[in-house]
Amino acid sequence: MGNIPINADKRQDSSFTPGQRFNPYRLFVGSFLPNWLMRRTEISQGAKLCYARLSQYAGEHGSAYPSQPVLAQELGVKVRQVRSYLNELETVDLIESEQLGLSQTNRYYFLVHPWMLETGSQQRPALNCRSRRHYTAGQGGRRLPVHAAGYCRQR
């Protein structure tokens, strides 16, 4: 096997060989999943990964507008699954989407969420849910009522 150059991210003249130990600290450019979201069990792993990828697309103005087929390709899933992830993120009020028109990509905005402010010992505060679909993915693929999960206020 040949050497794998990592120069683009680290701006070094070194390369790595498969199986060699290395320090990943500040080595790669990629999607970032915040710890406050990583530890949540109310949201699926796929939706978390989708959030991380959307975050990478966010520009100076805090909005992202990748197409769903591009997200599907990058996440290694079908477009229908991406729609499910995006719906899940909207249901729990992590993002909000704006449809810009036919045959145009949607624009996604990130919303401040109480999960960002919690520490491990705090209870989950209630949220105002803007979605008409009050279900989110639970563990094992089960559908879990959002209100029962404790993070959506009744209207």
Average pLDDT score over residue span 9-27: 71
Residue 38 has pLDDT above 50, yes or no: yes
Q: Where are the domains of the chain?
A: 1-30, 32-122
pTM over 0.85: no
Q: Detail the DSSP E strand segments found in the chain.
A: 4-5, 15-16, 63-64, 95-98, 107-110, 135-137, 143-145
Q: In this predicted structure, what is the pLDDT of residue 113? A: 93
Q: Tokens at residue 52, please?
A: 């991380």
Burial of 91 (0-12, 13-18, 19+ CB in 10 A): buried
- Could you tell me if 89 and 95 are in contact, meaning their C-beta atoms sit under 8 angstroms apart? yes
**CATH number attached to the domain at 32-122:** 1.10.10.10
Residue 32 has pLDDT above 60, yes or no: yes
DSSP state of 39: T
Each residue's pLDDT tens digit, 84-128 = 999 999 999 999 999 988 889 999 999 999 999 887 655 444 444
Residue 48 has pLDDT above 70, yes or no: yes
